[in-house]
């Protein structure tokens, strides 16, 4: 990553790590972020991250403890597909796959790792529910990490405690990582990644409940994230979207600092008053009695959660966690519409009328006529390119969308049929 304006300063610090360099100003921070947030190169690599809520199927109201979950996970490395396993604040389990050569390889690796993870949890009497929001239990943090404790304190200090707690402990997603692509196409690629958001949310919506009640939204996960501070969780695009690196830098500097780590990284403290990073960078405010370093800036970037996040690659963060029957087809569709040039050109036209319909997508999903049309058009584009291994999953997804049905509808039907806890228990045990 280029240090730009700070490189000269680095050369003057004998033996100092670049991470220890003090940021001279907000202008230097902007240059650092914009120079390094995307990497010029071909498209093709794909990485997946899948989150799922951990349940005890014998008692779905009970939230398994940190010790219960981590005792299972400590024996799982390495997984056959190369995923790293981690535990989210509320006990959700995340599989983070490595970059693979194409989307089919990424799906195959993640499927293998899911199978191993499920088997290990089942042996311990636990299981996973691939839903965008926990339908049953109140928000409770079980991960004792200092980062999550500080996040909790920050949200309560900023009067978003309930929403922040739900976001941290009750939501789960599919995250798709793709190459930034050639520099000349960055602006169009980032615009399309955002524009696809509402349509893909409508297709994959899978969180109709939260805390034991129907929310009235198909993607309650998106509703929760939409209620967070837009300076931290809103889209990064500027007015034109022509300069994604600059857009991301401006977004990051306007966002308030959430937490500060000690110089030895042994502790993390919440910032409980409003301090935009630009004020820290320019010395108007000192946090921890000091100016920020490159390490502080990099850490600040990890506390920002826009729907599309530049991390040298693009991290697509807006999809609900979804069941095995459809998630491979959802992933294939989104990656194809971004990475296949002909498909991308067609997708631009297909989603243009609903490119900013984030709330409608989360609330009524495919019940919106324009989103239904865009979803059908996008799936038709992807279906023309689907490999044989994914034909069945794609056909199921196409049939569902054609009928205006998303995973949230199917889960809702099961809840109405047998109740919330039995529906969750059946899902966790691998039933339909």
* CA 73 to chain CA centroid, nearest Å: 22
Q: Are 253 and 277 in contact (CB under 8 A)?
A: yes
Instruction: Return the domain boundaries, the chain.
Output: 28-255+304-429
pLDDT attached to residue 246: 95
pLDDT grade, residue 19 (50/70/90)? low
pLDDT grade, residue 344 (50/70/90)? very high
pLDDT grade, residue 430 (50/70/90)? confident
pLDDT attached to residue 364: 98
Instruction: Evaluate whether the domain defined by 28-255+304-429 bears CATH number 3.30.590.20.
Output: yes
Alpha carbon separation from 17 to 9, 11, 21, 363 (Å, rounded): 11, 10, 7, 48
Q: Are 128 and 121 in contact (CB under 8 A)?
A: yes
pLDDT attached to residue 237: 85
Instruction: Find the mean pLDDT for residues 355-362.
Output: 97
Question: Mean pLDDT for the chain?
Answer: 93
pLDDT at 432 over 90: no
Structure confidence by residue, pLDDT tens digits, 24-73: 999 999 999 999 999 999 999 999 999 999 999 999 999 999 999 999 99
pLDDT attached to residue 431: 74
What pTM was computed for the model? 0.94
Complete DSSP assignment for 234-262: S----SS-S-HHHHHHHHHHHSBP-EEE-
pLDDT grade, residue 10 (50/70/90)? very low
Structure confidence by residue, pLDDT tens digits, 125-175: 999 999 999 999 999 999 999 999 999 999 999 999 999 999 999 999 999
Higher pLDDT, 15 or 101: 101
């Amino acid at each position: 990553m280029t240090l730009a304006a700070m490189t000269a300063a680095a050369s003057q610090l004998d033996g100092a790590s670049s991470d220890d360099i003090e940021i001279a100003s907000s202008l230097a921070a902007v240059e650092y972020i914009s120079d390094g947030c995307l990497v010029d190169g071909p498209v093709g690599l794909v990485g997946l991250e899948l989150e799922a809520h951990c349940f005890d199927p014998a008692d779905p109201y009970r939230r398994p403890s940190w010790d219960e979950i981590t005792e299972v996970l400590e024996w799982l490395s390495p997984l056959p597909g190369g995923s790293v396993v981690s535990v989210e604040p509320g006990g959700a389990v995340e599989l983070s796959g490595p970059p693979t050569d194409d989307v089919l390889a990424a799906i195959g690796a993640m499927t293998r790792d899911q199978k191993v993870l499920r088997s290990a949890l089942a042996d311990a009497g636990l299981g996973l529910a691939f839903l965008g929001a926990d339908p049953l239990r109140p928000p409770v943090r079980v991960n004792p990490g200092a980062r999550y404790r500080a996040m909790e304190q920050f949200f309560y200090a900023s009067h978003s405690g309930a929403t922040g707690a739900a976001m941290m402990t009750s939501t789960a997603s599919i995250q798709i990582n793709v190459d930034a692509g050639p520099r000349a196409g960055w602006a169009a690629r980032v615009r399309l990644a955002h524009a696809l958001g509402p349509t893909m949310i409508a297709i994959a919506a899978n969180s109709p409940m939260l805390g034991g009640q129907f929310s009235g939204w198909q993607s309650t996960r998106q509703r929760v994230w939409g209620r967070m501070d837009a300076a931290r969780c809103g889209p990064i695009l500027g007015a034109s979207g022509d300069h994604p690196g600059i857009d991301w830098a401006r977004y990051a500097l306007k966002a308030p600092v959430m937490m500060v780590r000690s110089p030895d990284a042994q502790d993390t403290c919440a910032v409980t008053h409003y301090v935009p990073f630009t004020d820290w960078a320019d010395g108007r405010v000192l946090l921890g009695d000091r100016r920020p370093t490159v390490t502080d800036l990099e850490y600040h970037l990890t506390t920002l959660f826009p729907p599309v996040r530049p991390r040298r690659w693009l991290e697509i963060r807006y999809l609900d966690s979804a069941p095995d029957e459809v998630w491979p087809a959802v992933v294939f569709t989104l990656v194809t519409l971004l990475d296949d040039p002909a498909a991308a050109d067609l997708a631009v036209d297909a989603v243009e009328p609903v490119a900013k319909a984030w709330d409608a997508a989360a609330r009524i999903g495919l019940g919106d006529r324009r989103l239904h049309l865009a979803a059908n058009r996008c799936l038709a584009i992807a279906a023309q390119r689907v490999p044989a291994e994914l034909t069945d999953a794609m056909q199921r997804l196409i049939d569902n969308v054609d009928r205006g049905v998303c995973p949230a509808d199917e889960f809702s039907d099961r809840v109405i049929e047998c109740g919330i806890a039995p529906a969750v228990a059946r899902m966790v045990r691998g039933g339909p």
